[in-house]
Structure 1
Amino acid sequence: MAAALGRPVIRPVAAGDMAAIAAIYGHHVLHGKASFETEAPDTEEMTRRRDALLEKGYPYLVAELDGEVVGYSYASAYRPRAAYGATVENSVYLRVDRAGRGMGSMLLGALIEACVARGYRQMIAVVGDSANQASVRLHLKHGFEMVGTLRNVGRKHGCWLDTVLLQRVLASD
């Protein structure tokens, strides 16, 4: 589905999206604190990661605006142990020039819907850097609750960083 001019469309990821996704994520890795990676993965590595998620049935979505991928979101395993199988962790990244325009909210909302449709029960957000209040607010807006902060667990750009944990119920018994 093509995006109408000026209006973003949320759609499943496609093979041709990976260079844009690698560029978006690479910027956050190299210049931000949301990701605790310190070296930007190339398009090939991002494609490998996407393929691994899709093979396991996790949703992976992009925001397209005027023919360009300007953001993406996906769900992944929260932890590798089998008992965590109904719990997912979410990731949402936007091109920096598109932040604060509602696209992150569109991506997260669509990701939540996709995870509910797949039968997941809990979604966890692990927000890198407690100073990232935009991400915390985004998750609170979508029904997440703050469940904890891990203090000084990562070091990046010369700073010790916290991670904020938020949780959202997707389905209950």
Structure 2
Amino acid sequence: MANEQIKESNTTTGVHPLKFSLWLIIISIIMMFAAFTSAYIVRREEGNWLEFDLPNILLINTVIIVLSSVTMQMAHNAAKKNNLKQLKFMLLGTLILGVAFLIGQWNGWADLVQNNIYFGGTGSNPAGSFLYVLTGVHGFHLITGLIFVAITFFSSLKYKVHSKNMLRIQLCTTYWHFLGGLWLYLYIFLRVNH
């Protein structure tokens, strides 16, 4: 992706190799979180499961990630219209909201620690450990998404993202929306099953 321009040519199947690769990554992440949430349900039924209130910041983070998905889509739409000023502004907004989400997650973990809910260890609550894993692994993927958004933002500063060079912003938008959708799934899952 560091090339001057990413060629948008398709293979004989009609799908660009980078788009195909991104969908493979997304499918593997979905499978991983399906395994985590299935394990959560199975482990919960085994007992020794101490219920506790979820940190309130999780709801605020849900709003933040939805807003970041809106700004990402606006950036994509701006690129299609060659509105480069709005493109840069919306990508920067997505970056800021993504960082705010991570800060919120960190604060959520601090809230858990204040309530003596830790990850792992002897006598620890498996419910707490699962919450750390689910939010932590999602946070890791969000960091990769932020790196992708930052690369796209810096590319836009060099006028490499526009209506005739949409592949980078398309990939970035798809991945960012996926991360937002994944968080919504996790939040609803935790609210229903916690």
TM-score bucket (shorter structure): under 0.3
User: Structure 1 length as normaliser, TM-score?
Assistant: 0.26
Higher strand proportion (structure 1 or 2):
1
| Structure with more contact order per residue of length (Cα contacts < 8 Å, sep ≥ 6) | 2
User: Structure 2 length as normaliser, TM-score?
Assistant: 0.23
Higher helix proportion (structure 1 or 2):
2
> Which one has the largest radius of gyration?
2
